[in-house]
Amino acid sequence: MKITMAAVGRLRPGAELDLFSDYQTRFDRTGRALGLGPLELREVEAKKGGMTAEAGLLQKAAGEASVKVALDERGKVMTSPEFAQVLARWRDDGRPSVAFLIGGADGLAPALRRDCDQLLSFGKMVWPHMLVRVMLAEQLYRAASILAGSPYHRV
């Protein structure tokens, strides 16, 4: 099951990009044997038009994903094992691809949120969109590790 992370803005060289790349590599290695991955980051940037313009670019970046998940503070909060089980269920249901959508500084347009299959939250706090990429990449790796029975995730 291919995973796409469609995100507003561009990661610049530095700590966030290094962490993202590390977890992306870990996920790709661990997930391959589980039928998960690869993880592709598609970055978009709207110079004008705000959330509405960003929504169109994110939709295009998500492509024909069979499941679309918006990262949003109003979304469902899950434990890591629950997230792993959701990914496994989508994979086992034959979903070929999942796109995770990460908005810019103002979040996601309401119409785009409504168009998604699920809203996912990393808690009630608002996180910088550049950090959310790293956090999502880590949780994808953690989910693959849980499904693989790896000791990375400890309860």
Summarize pLDDT for 57-79 with one digit per residue, the tens.
999 999 999 999 999 999 999 99
CA distance 109 to 103: 8
Q: Is the pLDDT of residue 154 over 90?
A: no
* Higher-confidence position of 118 and 126: 118
- Residue 18 belongs to some domain of the structure: yes
Helices (H) and strands (E) counted in the chain, each on its own, are 5, 5
HSE of 51, CA atoms in CB hemisphere, 13 A: 12
pLDDT of residue 135: 97
Domain membership of residue 37 as a residue range: 2-148
pLDDT of residue 95: 97
Average pLDDT, the chain: 95
- Residue 6 belongs to some domain of the structure: yes
Count how many domains the chain has. 1
- Residue 62 belongs to some domain of the structure: yes
- Residue 153 belongs to some domain of the structure: no
pLDDT of residue 126: 86
Q: Tell me what percent of the residues of the chain surpass a pLDDT of 90.
A: 87
Tokens of 97: 């691809």
Tell me the CATH number at 59. Answer: 3.40.1280.10
- Residue 154 belongs to some domain of the structure: no
- Residue 98 belongs to some domain of the structure: yes
Q: Which of 142, 97, 143 has its CA nearest to residue 2?
A: 97
What pTM does this model have? Answer: 0.95
CA distance 140 to 153: 12
Q: Tell me what percent of the residues of the chain surpass a pLDDT of 70.
A: 99
- Residue 51 belongs to some domain of the structure: yes
Q: How confident is the model at residue 11 (pLDDT cuts 50, 70, 90)?
A: very high
Q: Is the pLDDT of residue 155 over 70?
A: no
Q: Is the pLDDT of residue 55 over 90?
A: yes
Q: Is the pLDDT of residue 29 over 80?
A: yes
